[in-house]
Amino acid sequence: MDALKTSSRVLVIGAGAMGSGIAHVAAVAGHTVYLYDMQAEAVERGRAGIAKDLAFLVSRDKLTQDAADAALARVVPISSLADAADAMLAIEAIVERLDVKQTLFAELETVLSPEAILATNTSSLSITAMAAPLARPGQVVGMHFFNPAPRMKLVEVVSGLATDPAVAQTVHATAKAWGKVPVFAKSTPGFIVNRVARPYYGEALRVLAEQAATPATLDAVMREGCGFPMGPFELMDLIGHDVNHAVSQSVFAACFNDSRYTPHLIQQELVHAGRFGRKSGQGFYAYG
Ligand code: NAD
């Protein structure tokens, strides 16, 4: 199955950490990318973030100035989904809530062509459930990037029970054409990475709760002793505790409250306090 043609337009919904990163990747690959968010200022912030990341690549000789300028020009902010009617691939990166994502996809079905692919960047929610209320559930597929999307190579291509295999193949080929390393996964709770990672975060939080070590010590141990590029606390701060806690809750519920995936109260407290990590300036660490 061929990748999406570069002349095909891509729509990214949600211009936060992930949506802006995904828009960056698709624009550098040559697509015109419509960028939409329910908050107009998020689109502005997202586009400014893309400009900054492209400038960084230019400073490191990884991209020419002309290529960076052209990629940024291909990121088109839109204020209504109707402005993206000719998009052939929509990738949503909005809040991690099944009902909100279902509502968005139902609206996209009325706006986009019947052949358009409806991809979700969900970290953990069931692709099968997300697609079920739609008229064309076969068009729905997971296209799960990792944070930061321009840098992290892995993309999980996740099929639900109704996903058309040709749709999954096209998304796999497209991720590859965008310089990523795609893998096929099934719509199981947390897919592959977030299923394996849940007990890792959970155990780190339990060790912290036992006051056995500080976040800085635990992070250093995992970096220096185990060769991880980041320790669990710096990684949770990067992901965002609002997002990470929602993923923990979703995997726990989807696994019939299996205690191995129990979300931790420490993370819930951080969410209550609005200490989401890097994006809010405070999480386990403070960011200037
Ligand atoms: P974020 O909070 O940084 O950004 C989400 C954006 O979506 C916000 O700008 C918000 O205004 C917008 N939004 C929310 N509801 C909307 C709606 N109904 N319509 C339009 N826009 C809406 O979140 P994020 O970290 O970018 O995560 C987004 C998605 O990606 C989630 O599903 C998350 O699970 C997934 N994800 C996150 C990470 C990560 O490390 N943060 C990694 C992989 C996948």
Q: Is the shortest distance between the CB of 82 and ligand 1 below 6 Å?
A: no
Asked: is 193-279 a CATH 2.30.40.10 domain? The reply is no
Residues 6+ apart with CB under 8 A from 43: 15, 35, 36, 37, 77, 78, 79
Burial class (CB in 10 A: 0-12, 13-18, 19+), 148: middle
Model confidence pLDDT, tens digit, residues 51-73: 999 999 999 999 999 999 999 99
Q: Is the shortest distance between the CB of 190 and ligand 1 below 6 Å?
A: no
DSSP output for 43-68: HHHHHHHHHHHHHHHHHTTSS-HHHH
Q: Which two tokens stand for residue 231?
A: 């320790």
d(C-alpha 11, C-alpha 118), whole Å: 10
**Residue of 38, 120, 158, 250 best suited for mutating to test ligand 1, as the one with most atoms within 8 Å of CB:** 38
Domain made up of 9-186: CATH architecture: 3-Layer(aba) Sandwich (3.40)
Q: Is the shortest distance between the CB of 244 and ligand 1 below 6 Å?
A: no
Please, what is the Cα angle at 24 between 20 and 28, to 5 degrees?
170
Q: Which two tokens stand for residue 180?
A: 């990523």
Q: Do domains 9-186 and 193-279 have the same CATH topology?
A: no
State the pTM of this model.
0.96
**Residue of 37, 125, 198, 242 best suited for mutating to test ligand 1, as the one with most atoms within 8 Å of CB:** 37
The catalytic residues are 123, 144, 156, 194
Model confidence pLDDT, tens digit, residues 166-201: 999 999 999 999 999 999 999 999 999 999 999 999
The domain limits of the chain are 9-186, 193-279
